[in-house]
Structure 1
């Protein structure tokens, strides 16, 4: 994986040239560090009080942002489900929560830039990398995604909220718990993404897929990966161009896992993943920040996941009050082993209560 990052870096630098040195630096170093949202003035507007009345199935936020959501359950205690992808909302509520539906209401919201929520960009008017990258990070990046979770907590009227994050959503949930440690009641991370540290020590999702692809697809896949991370012409692309790139990856993922993906192509976000990648940069280490999480935390891993178990190790090593459970199931264990998945979360929540 480290070699791959190096190759990508060389490709990017050769495309951008000397004049693009600052753009290259932006891609290498993180634009966002944990705690930036609550300490930097540039993000102040993201946390400004929202006075808008919500519409049916939409959280209405400032700056014209609307977040679509679906509800599951009838309980008084809300649980916020943070989807992965990034930018790939779930087409249906998770299975396995039947025993919890009288006590909890699960909110499945579509993150800004994906699904039925607001997509602020189609195509950028200029190709100025520096200014466009800053705009992307502020509008769709990690600070904006974390701020949305905080705004939802306020709208739900909760002093503290229960968060359940899956894959990249697990990473976002952990970032929120760092920014707002006193606002999280319980934290559940379902195979959280291996992006706490980049370059990662493991294969990551892209490397895991390559390992499982048939030999005859390796060369084709390598070309795709180089193209995917060639940011030199990023701002010549449109929202749909970027969605199409994700759809290509989903096809490779299906071959590697021999598992049909349930995602709706129309729900996939294009610019949002780019904002997240640029915000993190190709080189960072957020591990130490995990120590600031106060909420009791459950990390769940599916033993049949394409991603190896060591991908969640940093979460286990650095989050103070953490419990680990491995259960039979794939990366989408809530669909292929819902009963055990639901019981695992139910047991954890019951213990906290």
Structure 2
């Protein structure tokens, strides 16, 4: 009996030893795999002939493009805020907003810090929603210096524009929100439970929304690359960049070639990626844990507001319409278009903006 007991213990020890060895080898292989650089598939974005830079008070550069329309009139400047976070100014939106500039508006488009042609910050946690808000304030008051501006915010840029308007209403002439992301922080009931927005704002029967093609499940699977996972863990735990900015940007650009197919009504309308995505900015700018709930402030604003949503937008009608309710805004539904409306319906997108600007010219002056 003692011999059998010893044999069992010996076998158990061998099993434990080999299990630890196997796990150790597995972790070693994963670690070695994580050392392999991320393959570049999209060339990095290059400056355009009209690219300019603002030097911000903290020393970093923000890249921007200005489309100068007829500025002899009194029209406020337009400032476009791209989505993401970690998105960038794509040439397609410059093309569309040139049509708006022709109507007598100076249009500014800038790459938010950490993306596009703008500088990258030293540490991952240097990026935050509050930094983007502060940058926007500095750009309007110190860089552009033209008084009130018209903010056009797309997706994440819509959240940014709305929070800025809530805290700096004298600086905002009008708000135009294109497929805005869910207003942050999420709405809650009096007892702290999540509010059911779809019950507060049920979808009207005249708006027949359609589901875009599913791309995010595949994108999430692709995220599970050891180097990317380890990079995010190092960034979260130690505020350290395991993968370089170039590598993380390359990865994000590659992912964008996949998930943008779910941001249109017709995948044929997806524009080629131009290599401006910001990986670390994307990972850390969308933390809203300490963000003030601006809803009470928004209800008090008197700022003409337009909210545009595409039929194939992945965002819920209720979450988008909440902006209209809080800001007493105008909601426009554009058929056969997705999250990036101007890729599918560029003419309708521009005309909707121009109609709103013309109709609201005498308001809030």
* TM-score of Structure 1 vs Structure 2, range by shorter chain: 0.5 to 0.7
- Helix, strand or coil at the partner of 1:103: coil
Q: 1:323 — aligned with what? A: 330
Q: 1:281 to 1:243 in 2, by over 3 A?
A: farther
Matched, 1:105 2:91: no
Contact 1:96 1:338 in 2 (8 A): no
Out of 311, 314, 318, the position equivalent to 1:303 is 311
Q: 1:239 — aligned with what? A: 245
Q: Describe the superposition over 1:290-333 as per-residue Cα deviations: whole angstroms up to 9, x where unpaired.
A: 325432111111123233323302212322x3111112322222
Q: 1:298 to 1:269 in 2, by over 3 A?
A: same
Could you tell me the TM-score, scaled by structure 1's length? Answer: 0.67
Alignment gaps of 5+ in structure 2 = 1-49, 187-193, 199-210
Q: Distance in 2 between matches of 1:153 and 1:282?
A: 24
Out of 121, 128, 153, the position equivalent to 1:165 is 153
Q: Describe the superposition over 1:149-199 as per-residue Cα deviations: whole angstroms up to 9, x where unpaired.
A: 222222322221111111111111111101201110011011111242448
Contact 1:213 1:252 in 2 (8 A): no
Q: 1:174 — aligned with what? A: 162
Q: 1:222 to 1:105 in 2, by over 3 A?
A: closer
Q: Distance in 1 between matches of 2:253 and 2:195?
A: 24
Out of 166, 169, 176, the position equivalent to 1:188 is 176
Q: Distance in 2 between matches of 1:213 and 1:333?
A: 18
Q: 2:81 — aligned with what? A: 82
Q: 1:211 to 1:99 in 2, by over 3 A?
A: closer
Q: Distance in 2 between matches of 1:324 and 1:330?
A: 16
Q: Distance in 1 between matches of 2:252 and 2:100?
A: 35
Contact 1:250 1:261 in 2 (8 A): no
- Higher RCO (Cα < 8 Å, 6 or more apart): 1
Q: 1:292 to 1:247 in 2, by over 3 A?
A: farther
Q: Distance in 1 between matches of 2:196 and 2:245?
A: 31
Q: Distance in 2 between matches of 1:224 and 1:56?
A: 33
Contact 1:196 1:314 in 2 (8 A): no
Normalized per residue, the structure richer in helix is: 1
Q: Distance in 2 between matches of 1:114 and 1:272?
A: 7
Q: Distance in 1 between matches of 2:51 and 2:253?
A: 30
Q: Distance in 1 between matches of 2:165 and 2:182?
A: 17
Matched, 1:275 2:276: no
Could you tell me the TM-score, scaled by structure 2's length? Answer: 0.65
Out of 239, 262, 276, the position equivalent to 2:272 is 262
Contact 2:308 2:334 in 1 (8 A): yes
Q: Describe the superposition over 1:232-285 as per-residue Cα deviations: whole angstroms up to 9, x where unpaired.
A: 3333443234324423532441454535343322x111221223133x139985
Structure index of larger Rg: 2
- Helix, strand or coil at the partner of 2:107: strand
Contact 1:243 1:269 in 2 (8 A): yes
Contact 2:324 2:331 in 1 (8 A): yes
Matched, 1:339 2:329: no
Q: Distance in 2 between matches of 1:226 and 1:284?
A: 33
Alignment gaps of 5+ in structure 1 = 1-54, 125-131, 204-209
Q: 1:249 — aligned with what? A: 255
Out of 67, 77, 86, the position equivalent to 1:72 is 67
User: How many pairs does the alignment contain?
Assistant: 273
Q: Distance in 2 between matches of 1:62 and 1:339?
A: 38
